[in-house]
Structure 1
Amino acid sequence: STATPVADFGTLFPLELTFPQGLLSPQSFTIGIVDDFEPEGIETFTLAITVLSGEVEVIQETLTVTIAPNDLGFPHYPIADVRGIDGNGVLDSLLVPCELRGVVHGFNTYPSGLRFTIIDPTAGIEVYSPVDNFNYLVEEGDSVRIRGSLQQFQGLAQILVDTLILATQGEQLQEPELVNALSEETESDLVRLKCVELVDPSAWTNQAPQFEVYVSTGTSLYLMVVDADTDLFGTEAPVGVFGVTGIGGQRDLEAPFLNGYTILPRNADDLSEPVQADFFVEDVWNTEDGPVPFENLSLGAGGYFWSFGDGTSPDTTTSPLHVFPEENTYTIVLTAQSLDGVCSDQATQEVTVVFPDTSTIGVVEPDVDTPFLFGP
């Protein structure tokens, strides 16, 4: 009829059934209906069964099978069109059936099913299937078409998969957007969170299947998730200030869903080389010994700015010598820039500078052993 064998139904057609002579018990078999992924109307095909007695055809029955369309209920939208939220962070398009298309970013974080991110030119969204992987091996750069309905989990917008179509492979990935904070706008987007530091390095446990650590920007805390399927897993905890690239997410347990933003790095290269500012200077320095020396102990730095607290211009040398104008206690600030010039770290110490005491002068008269002292 109108359906196409293999493409629309079954994989073993034409199907041959043999009923032994004299067998009166009912017989049954299963027909597999295949979704060929293309929007189309009602299709039919006909099954015929023939009963033979020797070489004589005794009975022939036919049955027409109708395949109802399921593709027409999934209109295609740009991802941004289904990502709107109300004042409580609740998705406007909950339970809406649709087709979303985008390029895979990241990896599958749910091995018993699917959980990964797709991004189109307008926005990104998490793709989720709790039990079925649709025989799809998630690869970053794949262009896919996802049909399903929209839902929300802990504030994170998701599309629950009904149909997954692999369109092309090797597509260009989105360039990460440099951000200072995570928010609703960074959810399911590829971002680079600028200049963070581990809150508790001991939380870097390297325990499978994943572990979580808080990072601080200085003003906000965010959860960074490290998955065992990445080569970042098993490495040492970064010490100092670093940038982290990854997929933005959200874990907010109750409405309003406006907090709990997370970031998921995809590999070790998603963490920039940490920079850690450190230096040594004597607590008290007598200028009789010359200019004050500063020993730079910073790690992972590509440049330095020294502020001596005395009104002089910053020094950009690695380990400077500095002459202070007068006796005082000065606050020294070393700013160390990361190798990529994006992040920086600071170290602060005080040094007390003393000058020689010139208020007392000793005068020795000829043939007199005791000096006369002049002074206030």
Structure 2
Amino acid sequence: MDTTHKQQYFSNELLAWYLRHRRDLPWRRSRNPYYIWISEVMLQQTRVDTVIPYFHRFIERFPTVEALAEAPEEDVLKLWEGLGYYSRARNLQGAVREVHERYGGIVPDNKEEISSLRGVGPYTSGAILSIAYNKPEPAVDGNVMRVLSRYFLIEEDIMKPSTRGIMEKLAKALIPEGAAGDFNQALMELGAMVCKPRSPNCLTCPVMEHCSAREAGMEEQLPIKKKAKPPRPEQRVAALITGSGDHQGKVLIRQRPQEGLLARMWELPHTEVPFTYMAASPSSPELIPESFKLLTDQLAEETIGIIPERWFMHAEHTFSHIHWDMDVIACRLEPGIIPSPAGMLLPSHYQWVDSATMDNFAFPNVFLKILNAYFAACTEL
């Protein structure tokens, strides 16, 4: 089969398959570019089943461009809590504010304008333009590159920008006239449901008959993808500082800096420590790591004096580039540190929180799990 017929077969069969078998997803029930934009940002590096409840809550709270543009960032991050990659939420809100101010709340329908928005790259712009406005623009993500590399036997490293350029040019050429939105979603759907990274379901694939990778027995080897560097390991110690008196049953939290990783989110005080110590274990909770002194010294600089009491739990969290391995130590404030409600004797970026007020703060997943474990244990006592 020559290239032209191979492409026509692929486009026709894939689109027909999608129209019969597409999943009923909430963002597919509307051509609202704002809703489609939100869904595409949420779906980056996150599973569909995880995104669905977040999507519903998000558009209920921020149903319009104006609502999201005018919302406090803390509210946006709180609704994003658990999805991770919080820069996505900040970039989304920043770009939506641009749309509100520069375009009267109307999401642009041309590539130049939409690509100029904060955090909107080639994939997101292509998805919005094709799905919302039916513009013949490619939307090439990992699923799409996997499908195209297998069907057309493209043996180039998909991590290279040059390969992405090849894929985008090919994907655009495949779009049937007048069906850009459905076709791009069909490509994504095939990669998500059939042409999976491992053990692809070739026998149920609508374009199996002319798939070059299947014919060459290379469906498991493609796409070619250079391995990313593993996340850098970091050992950390965190302080679970519990209150007394008026703050009985509460935990002291602090807000992260204005810039950088997890900016402006809330956490337990913690610090990186060397890997040269043996962490305490549940079987010997009285053993407090010697390196805990690094954290007490750090907090002393912020006028927070703490006394460790017992090992509480171990927690782990992996970011794209860092892996945190964390011991959590239950502590109390030193005598003389009077935690007033007005915060006069505590730095302004510290707050007391209990199970009833946790919803007022946005926490990274790792600290959310620790706090939930602590308050659950308190309930059982």
Q: Would you say same fold, with TM above 0.5?
A: no
Q: Give the number of the structure whose residues are more often helix, by fraction.
A: 2
Q: Give the number of the structure whose residues are more often strand, by fraction.
A: 1
CA radius of gyration, larger in: 1
